[in-house]
């Protein structure tokens, strides 16, 4: 099947062809014709399958006829994070360049005054995070009575971040006879309940079973110790043929510390997490996409939906607390039919997390037996890095002794009696997300974009 066979306009087909696409993915082939027929849709597909284009493309043609009015957007797309919202905006820019449609982003990290001005001019497409949308609605700066098309994207992530009450509130303020599209990688009971309540006779399109992983991704577990993770990771970075890689950590503090550690070893590493302001996060993602850095250390703020071409590897420095996050993390590689490799570093304390991941995905993950990392030894501090290698991975010896962590001598270690540390009480993990969606200054681009000439 070709894009020309599923009912898109000539202008839209021209933009799709210029973007380098000819054949739709399974989720696009299943969803686009039904969306054009004004059906409500439930789309269940794993990350990296082209979900965004499956609603962006038909929306452009649906909205091609009509006129936007001040403060009354004609369509609304809800996204859980600022990065995902900005990425959807990029898709509208790319595919809507031959249509005269206007668009606005309503997210934290952008001055509210600029967003209000965009709404006052009238927009065909409003892309928003729930927190900022409700804030402006309660201030009387936006009306939703003219919104005839609603998209709830990454619904399971919305659930994780506590946005479901906000979404239910938003749905009650929209016209009852609207068209609603809901997309999610998994379908937990609360999302099913949401769909039953707010969608009318929806067509379900499922291109992969819930929580399945991409067959193009080769997965490994790497046995290590909690204290030996950094050395194990550096060994993997040297051994693997890294093009670009994302390293996921559970905590923001771990992201910062690991990024600095890799930089000391002369890796071209950057970081992204929820404590960074929006402009810094956008700048760091741009550096990664342009190749100025080839390793991005990230919290789960980057786990879903972000599409960076050519990511060859994903490393879970920490096994994720929630098994669903594993599917989304490793989905950053193996995209658009490419091959990818995913490594999860596991210590004995991660046994329960790994078991939950394997139960969710329905398959056992192979143990990586490369080098000596299958049975690593306990270490107290990082060892001196090896001599610099001239490679695109960028690992090298620090400039001075002060840059490198000091290794404990074997003789002193052997004389020291072994101490047993009592197990720390188990604490409930704190998610490294940003449900507050606060704003803290201007963000370049994506405020109000007109398509076409």
**Residue 215: predicted pLDDT:** 82
Mean pLDDT of all residues in the chain?
81
Lowest pLDDT segment from 57-61, 199-203, 397-401:
397-401
pLDDT range class, residue 210, cuts 50, 70, 90 = low
pLDDT range class, residue 375, cuts 50, 70, 90 = very low
**Residue 433: predicted pLDDT:** 41
- Asked if pLDDT for residue 263 goes beyond 60, the answer is yes
Average pLDDT over residues 33-38: 96
Domain that holds residue 247: 217-415
Residues 189 and 241 in one domain: no
Residues 231 and 183 in one domain: no
**Residue 212: predicted pLDDT:** 66
Task: HSE, CB side, 13 Å, CA atoms: give it for residue 376.
Answer: 25
Q: Is 426 within the bounds of a domain?
A: no
160 vs 173, residue with greater confidence = 173
Of 322, 301, 327, 409, residue with least CA distance to 314: 327
Average pLDDT over residues 224-229: 94
Q: Is 243 within the bounds of a domain?
A: yes
Per DSSP, what are the bridge partners of residue 126? 76, 104
pLDDT range class, residue 310, cuts 50, 70, 90 = confident
The span from the CA of 388 to the CA of 439, in Å, is 42
Give the tens place of pLDDT for each residue, 405-420.
444 333 333 333 443 4
Give the tens place of pLDDT for each residue, 316-325.
999 998 888 8
Give the tens place of pLDDT for each residue, 330-355.
988 887 678 899 999 999 999 999 99
Residues 373 and 286 in one domain: yes
Q: What is the CATH number of the domain that holds 356?
A: 3.40.50.300
248-to-42, 176, 218, 243, 251 alpha-carbon distances in Å:
29, 41, 17, 17, 9
Of 181, 233, 174, residue with least CA distance to 35: 181
Average pLDDT over residues 259-287: 90
Number of domains in the chain: 2
Average pLDDT over residues 194-220: 86
The span from the CA of 173 to the CA of 274, in Å, is 30
**Residue 226: predicted pLDDT:** 92
pTM of the entire structure? Answer: 0.62
Residues 250 and 172 in one domain: no
Give the tens place of pLDDT for each residue, 8-31.
999 999 999 999 999 999 999 999
Q: For residue 190, give the 3-state DSSP assignment.
A: helix
Q: For the sheet containing 203-206, what is the strand order? A: 203-206, 41-44, 179-184, 149-152, 75-78, 125-128, 102-106, 448-450
**Residue 372: predicted pLDDT:** 40
Residues 223 and 281 in one domain: yes
pLDDT range class, residue 442, cuts 50, 70, 90 = very low
Residues 348 and 366 in one domain: yes
pLDDT range class, residue 209, cuts 50, 70, 90 = low
Residues 150 and 261 in one domain: no
Residues 224 and 147 in one domain: no
**Residue 160: predicted pLDDT:** 83
Query: What's the longest Cα–Cα distance across the chain?
Result: 80
- Asked if pLDDT for residue 390 goes beyond 60, the answer is no
Q: Is 431 within the bounds of a domain?
A: no
Residues 151 and 292 in one domain: no
């Amino acid at each position: 099947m070709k894009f020309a066979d599923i009912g898109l306009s000539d202008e839209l087909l021209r933009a799709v062809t210029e973007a380098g696409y000819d054949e739709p993915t399974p989720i696009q082939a299943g969803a686009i014709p039904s969306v054009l027929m004004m059906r409500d849709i439930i789309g269940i597909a794993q990350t990296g399958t082209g979900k965004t284009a499956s609603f962006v493309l038909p929306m452009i043609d649906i909205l091609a006829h009509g006129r936007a009015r001040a403060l009354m957007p004609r369509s609304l797309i809800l996204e859980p994070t600022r990065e995902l919202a900005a990425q959807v905006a990029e898709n509208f820019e790319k595919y809507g360049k031959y249509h005269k449609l206007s668009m606005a982003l309503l997210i934290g990290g952008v001055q509210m005054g600029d967003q209000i001005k965009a709404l006052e001019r009238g927009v065909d497409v409003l892309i928003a995070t729930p927190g900022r949308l409700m804030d402006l609605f309660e201030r009387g700066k936006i009306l939703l009575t003219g919104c005839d098309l609603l998209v709830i994207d990454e619904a399971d992530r919305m659930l994780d971040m506590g946005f479901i009450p906000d979404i239910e509130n938003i749905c009650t303020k929209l016209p009852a006879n609207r068209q609603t599209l809901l997309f999610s990688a998994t379908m937990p009971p609360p999302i099913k309940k949401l769909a039953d309540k707010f969608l009318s006779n929806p067509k379900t399109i499922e291109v992969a079973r819930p929580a399945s992983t991409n067959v193009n991704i080769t997965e490994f577990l790497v046995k290590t110790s909690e204290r030996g993770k950094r050395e194990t990771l550096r060994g993997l970075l040297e051994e693997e043929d890294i093009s670009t890689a994302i390293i996921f950590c559970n905590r923001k503090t771990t992201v910062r510390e690991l990024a600095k550690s890799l930089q000391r070893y002369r890796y071209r590493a950057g970081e992204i997490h929820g404590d960074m302001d929006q402009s810094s996060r956008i700048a760091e993602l741009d550096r990664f996409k342009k190749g100025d850095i080839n390793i991005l250390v990230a919290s789960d703020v980057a786990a879903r939906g972000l599409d960076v071409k050519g990511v060859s590897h994903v490393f879970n420095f920490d096994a994720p607390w929630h098994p669903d996050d594993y599917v989304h993390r490793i989905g950053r590689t193996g995209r658009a039919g490419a091959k990818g490799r995913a490594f999860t570093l596991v210590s004995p304390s991660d046994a329960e997390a790994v078991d939950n991941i394997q139960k969710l995905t329905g398959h056992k993950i192979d143990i990586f037996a490369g080098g000596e990392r299958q049975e690593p030894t306990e270490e107290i501090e990082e060892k001196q890095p090896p001599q610099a290698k001239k490679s695109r991975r960028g690992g090298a010896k620090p400039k001075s002794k002060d840059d490198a962590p000091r290794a404990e001598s074997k003789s002193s270690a052997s004389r020291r009696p072994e101490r047993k540390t009592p197990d720390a009480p188990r604490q409930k993990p704190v998610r490294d997300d940003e449900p507050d969606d606060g704003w803290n200054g201007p963000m370049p681009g994506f405020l109000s974009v007109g398509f076409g000439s």
